[in-house]
Amino acid sequence: MAISSPPDVQPPRVVAVGASAGGVEALTRLAAGLPADLAFAVLMVLHVPAGAPSVLARIVDRSGPLPAESAANGTPLAAGRIYVAIPDHHLLVRGHRLMLSEGPTENGYRPAINALFRSVASEFGPSSIGVLMSGVLDDGVAGLGAIQARGGATIVQRPDDALYPTMPQNAIDARVVDLQATAADLGGVLKRLADREIKERPMDPDINLELENRIAMGKRFEVSMEGDTLGPPSGYTCPDCNGSLMTLSETSYRCRVGHAWTADALLKARDEEVEGAVWVALRSLKEKATLSRRMAQKVGPGALFDRYTKVADEAERAMSVLGERLWDSTGQRKD
């Protein structure tokens, strides 16, 4: 059942902010530049591990004039306050209140930036603003597109100002960005946007957006999702559960239990799988070579000695070939 806003209270406009690698520095600089009379509620998502301590709200609270707090389920949104996502929960909005969800991970993350942005786009439309900051890969890019499509404004931290510029640059390349600014200047940009006229316009319901919002709002291990309605099979499997991935668009996928992946994140997950498989092969070959040498020493000269020695030589040659494949992105050997 939808949660309604308190009576006689005008729901505030909302700024949704997402960051990943380098995000603590970016978010604190943003908070420091926000005006004390900001007419927006600010929602922040930072990619953090599920078991990480929830300290970001305290860091942000000390950084600028607006009070910041860890998001709590059901809290009514208020202008001039910052609500920070907590680990292992998506931060969403519903009925102009905060909603925390243990719905499926997206690109391996919970909280995910796309989940917040889609939720804000659906709930607030032209009264929403999306801000994407420092990070890698492309979480948040599709969400910015949803905000823009529903009439909201989209901003990214200038790539040359970000510690990790890939995420904002991917949004620019996807043409879903209205404005660019440094983290320190974003407060002034938001202050100006507070004075813009909001033009409500009739819009047809976005069935895919609504479906993805329902998925994000689901319970952990939810199995009643309408997986077959997502799209055609992609031919790929989900890194989280090994289930079939359905095609949402040319660059986004979901499995039947809801895990979401963008093309870039899926490619990175495949890289990690391949590297993991190569390390397993290396370990097995090393053990094979060591055991064969030991067996050769045990039996002494003769046909068996030659056989075990040949097996060890072949395993060591294979180790050398595989070792040459284990290079990281800087070209340095990992072995």
Which sequence positions are flagged as catalytic?
A: 20, 47, 139
Do 43 and 143 form a contact (C-beta atoms < 8 A)? Answer: no
Classify burial at 226, counting beta carbons within 10 Å of its beta carbon; exposed 0-12, middle 13-18, buried 19 or more: exposed
Do 82 and 60 form a contact (C-beta atoms < 8 A)? Answer: yes
Structure tokens at 146: 């949803």
Residues in contact with 161: Cβ distance below 8 Å, sequence separation at least 6, in sequence order: 182, 183
Q: What is the DSSP string of 175-222?
A: T--SEEE-TTTHHHHHHHHHTSPP--------HHHHHHHHHHTSPTT-
H/E stretch holding 26:
helix 23-33
If one counts every other C-beta atom within 10 angstroms of the C-beta of residue 243, the result is: 15
Structure tokens at 95: 């009925």
If one counts every other C-beta atom within 10 angstroms of the C-beta of residue 289, the result is: 19
